[in-house]
Structure 1
Amino acid sequence: MEWMIGLGALVSFAGIAGLIWCVLLALQARKTAADEDDMRSRLQRVVILNMAALGVSALGLMIVVSGILLS
């Protein structure tokens, strides 16, 4: 089950990369937003992406734990 551990690590890494991307999007929205409504709408999209990236990362960790338990 070593392949599950590797796959889970890749999925977790993709989720962490997504979280970093969300931070960069939030910082960009903070710098370039014209008004509060524009910034609010941008940050609402970032929150959705953030939750998706967190879910992907958690799924990867579950795959890693499953691979370890099945070894």
Structure 2
Amino acid sequence: MEWLIWIGTGLTLIGLSLLAYCIFAAIFAKRAGRPEAELRVKLQRIVVINMGALLLSALGLMSVVIGIFLT
């Protein structure tokens, strides 16, 4: 089940990189000085990506743990 560990590691790394993207995108959006309505729309889109990244990271970590238990 070594392949499950590697797949889980890949999913986790993709999720973590998306989380880093969300952090930087939110910082840049706030610094841009946009009107509040436009900023709210941008941040709502970032929150959706953030939730997906958290789900992807959690699934990856679960895959790693299951792969370790089965090895």
Q: Do both share a fold (TM > 0.5)?
A: yes
How far the C-alpha of 1:11 sits from its partner, in A, is 0.6
What's 2:25 paired with?
Answer: 25
| Runs of 5+ consecutive residues of structure 2 not aligned to the other structure | none
SS of the aligned residue for 2:37 comes to helix
Partners in 1 of 2:34 and 2:22 — Cα distance?
20
Matched, 1:61 2:29: no
What's 2:50 paired with?
Answer: 50
Partners in 2 of 1:8 and 1:57 — Cα distance?
8
Partners in 2 of 1:33 and 1:61 — Cα distance?
37
Partners in 1 of 2:9 and 2:44 — Cα distance?
28
Partners in 1 of 2:52 and 2:34 — Cα distance?
27
How far the C-alpha of 1:33 sits from its partner, in A, is 3.7
- Number of paired residues? 71
SS of the aligned residue for 1:34 comes to coil
CA RMSD in angstroms, aligned pairs only? 0.8
What TM-score does the superposition give when structure 2 sets the normalisation length?
Answer: 0.94
Report Cα offsets for 1:3-50 as digits up to 9, x if no partner.
111111111000000000001110111011421111111100000000
What TM-score does the superposition give when structure 1 sets the normalisation length?
Answer: 0.94
